[in-house]
Structure 1
Amino acid sequence: MSSQATSPKPAARFASRGSTRFDILLALFCVVLIVSNIAATKSIEIGAGSFNLGSLQIWPVVTDGGAILFPLAYILGDVISEVYGFAAARRAVLVGFAAALMAAVTFWLVERAPAASFYENQEAFASVAGPVAQVVVASVAGYVAGQLLNSWVLVRMKERTREKGLIGRLAASTGVGELADTVLFCAIAASAIGIDSLGVFGNYVVVGVLYKVAVEFAVMPVTVAVIAWLKRRETTY
């Protein structure tokens, strides 16, 4: 009885990162990270009154200014991972880390530089820029762990399913990445934005995860469309 040899599956396809489109995505990635770190120094509370479930604060909702823009970092990370692969996503993470670190050092030096005799906003500047270094440490810890997990899960799933199942791997990778990112970020940044109770911290973490994942799911049709557009136009894909 003869056995028929099965041909191996073709490798998952990725485009070369030597592309101006990749450069644009990388630049957007870094800008989103830096702006989010600065915005995250402001804590935000939405809702009036108070409702707790045991020690966990359910209402009002607590978040920070970084939540407005930061979900876009994961959308860009999904696009880079799906089109350009894990090595390209890792490079984006490292470049973003360097950019965030440069911003934090710059704010730290400016805050400590002697203010001009006519400058009246030193205290206001310090109150906003002062926590940036702690927020950057929190952001980098969460961002590196979350983005690398996000990219790793997405690329590993793509190696199994090839071009099929894009929505499934976007959803799975986002859930894993955002959970790791949010827990690490909140644990380190909470004191920088004034969170000093376990109940409020729990609200901060839960709201952060649910909100970011919800945003990713809401814009998933746009993410899928951008990925499809890039795949059609990257000649190396």
Structure 2
Amino acid sequence: MKRVSELNKTEEHEGSGRPAQDHAAFAQVARGYYTPIVALFTATLIISNICATKGVQFFTDHSVQLGPLEILPISTDGAFFLFPLAYILGDVLSEVYGFRATRRAIYYGFGALLLTVACFSIAIRLPAAVFYENQEAFRTVIGTTPQLVAAGLAGYFVGQLLNSVTLVLIKERTREKHLWARLIGSTIVGELADTLIFCSIAATAIGIDSWRQFVNYVIVGFLWKTLCEVLVMPITYRVIATLKKREPSYAPRESDPLHV
């Protein structure tokens, strides 16, 4: 009520020749680390989905097979080095801020990906200038096919939600103990779902045309992302500990952790 009366008072004094208050009115930005983490989380998702349109192979001079599994060459996509960061950030959000806040971040990321795809589509269809000679290259690089869009959105949405739910449910049982179990357990569940969904939809769009390549694509992607989680766990531990110490609202809650 006080704020409303102050605004009304401001309106009453407009045109009087005197300022109704000392300075212009602005809303305050929420303090804390949640916003920059969500910004980095969203940027990682957008960049990863662009890089993932490129098929990548390592050890192409070798051919090693084990039954239906193609061991070498290793087939993956161009986002293999960056995408694990999205799950690491998702773990940090879930551990410190809970499921509801992480779900909000996932929605932000989903919306940002849709906006990115829409903007790319419009930019491709805009008439090229007579002096612009890279229209086809531009279309090739950012002209994500509907197949890859569906793969990225579906894999990300399901995988990230499962990752967050799993971590929060494990934390409800372990409280502040066994952080490693929450980080690894949630990553296994989330990454497995994400990798299966994305690879199943996107494989043919990036040039994978055999069952052996597909199995290799799934296994390599899943193992790599899980290995990244393990390798950077000391850093994740430090980041989480710092955030818990510096966020004044971090405290036990009395209600269901999935709805708090």
What TM-score do you get using the length of structure 1 for normalisation?
Answer: 0.90
> Equivalent residue for 1:162?
175
Q: Which structure 1 residue ranges, 5 or more long, are not aligned? A: 1-17
**1:42 and 1:87 mapped to 2: Cα distance?**
33
> What does residue 30 of structure 1 align with?
42
Corresponding position of 1:174: 187
Q: Secondary structure at the match of 1:41?
A: coil
Structure 1 runs of 4+ with >4 Å offset: none
Go from structure 1 to structure 2 and tell me whether the alpha carbon gap of 1:194 and 1:131 turns closer, same or farther (over 3 Å shift): farther
1:79/1:223 contact within 8 Å kept: yes
Q: Which residue of 2 aligns with 1:146?
A: 159
Asked if residue 56 in structure 1 is aligned to residue 69 in structure 2, the reply is: yes
Alignment of 1:81-160 (within 5 A): 81-131=94-144, 133-160=146-173
Structure 2, unaligned runs of 5 or more? 1-29, 251-260
1:133 positional shift: 4.5
Instruction: Give the aligned partner of residue 221 of structure 1.
Output: 234
More contact order relative to length (CA 8 Å, sep ≥ 6) = 1
Separation in 2, partners of 1:196, 1:94: 33
TM-score, L = length of structure 2? 0.82
> Contact conserved, 2:32 with 2:247, CA < 8 A, in 1?
no
Percent identity over paired residues: 57
Name the SS of the counterpart of 1:49 in structure 2.
coil
- Name the amino acid aligned to 1:106: C
Stretch deviating more after TM superposition (112-121 or 207-216): 112-121
| Structure 2 match to 1:189 | 202
Greater Cα radius of gyration, structure 1 or 2: 2
Q: Deviations over 1:142-176 (max 9, x none)?
A: 11111111110110111111111111111101111
Q: Check whether the contact 1:37–1:132 (CA below 8 A) recurs between aligned residues.
A: no
The one-letter amino acid of 2:137's match is A
Aligned length: 220
Residue 42 (structure 1) aligned to one of 54, 64, 88: 54
- What is the CA RMSD across the aligned residues, in angstroms? 1.2
Match for residue 17 of structure 2? none
Q: Which amino acid aligns with 1:33?
A: L
Give the drift of 1:116: 1.4
